[in-house]
Structure 1
Amino acid sequence: MSIFALTIAAFAASAAPTADKAPAATVKPAVQPMTKSDFLSAIDARFVAMDTNKDGQLSKLEIEAAESRMAAQRVTVVNARREAAFKKLDTNHDGQLSLAEFNAAAPVPAAPKPDAGKVLARMDSNKDQAITLQEFRAGPLADFDKLDANKDGKLSVQERAAARPAKR
């Protein structure tokens, strides 16, 4: 991580509440304008905090120590968020999530309402509000004929492979 990235992250972290002082309700602070002077002050303060031997330079060891402290702070914040999320899901406060508690937090979405109109509009070629076997076959047969490049009435392994979308 670059010194600039460390500084920006530290400046952002200094504005955010720490895990031990997190508010009861998570409220994101409003983004405030920042002057260049304020920005430089934050960079300078971060440099001073990282320069533990006060020699005016950041050594490899000081940079690695700062990175380690920031990583530990991130882990603390992530763990606090995970614990808060777990406590929110654990409605009976027994330290375990039952299937009912989990399902209450992540309900199964309702199935879409059946709509035959779309299928009829696409397949009912004579618009009689019913699909015959011939109409049901028409689309897939047209697709087969399109894929049968040599028009031999068979889809070879190569023709089928060419029809599959390329894997990324």
Structure 2
Amino acid sequence: MTLTIKRPLQNEYPAYYLPYVNQVPENAEIMQTLEEQNSEIRSLFAAIDDDRAEEAYADGKWTMKELLQHMIDSERVFAYRALCIARGEQTPLPGFDENMYAENSRANDRLLRDILEEYDLVRRSNMCMFRGFDSTMLENVGTANGKQITLRGLIYVIAGHERHHINILKERYLK
């Protein structure tokens, strides 16, 4: 049976995630969106070599490798939160400092193909996990970074965060 994950209401996630959720088209089927993003990332990076992937679009900005690693790290954090909330965890979950994670990622010391493989595995693993959720779980509420969020809200945040960074990649790095 295929689970339909309806768009979350604005009270299902913190207001600072609204720009991400708004990145997901109104009538999108979220699991299809997540799958399409995986393909899009692989396509965008297909013609980029390691040297080019270590370039930033401006001083002080992340390189493409660091951006991709940030997407992986963020998805892992969001997915861990999703797992906890799905399982009924009521302990508040911590936030994370994405700049510290990027600084300590050593992404530029890795091969782009290895980072892309990690990205693909993380995305596919999370999609498998999401398929195991049921409609009751999607309504579960947890606390992450001091704010309440539903499981459904987190799944949309993952897709919206990804779309945000795909747009940055296209507009600032790949012009």
Whether TM exceeds 0.5 here: the answer is no
TM-score range, shorter chain: under 0.3
Kindly indicate which of the two structures has a greater share of residues assigned to strand. 2
Structure with larger RCO (C-alpha < 8 A, sep 6+): 2
TM (norm. structure 2) is 0.26
Which structure is larger by alpha-carbon Rg, 1 or 2? 1
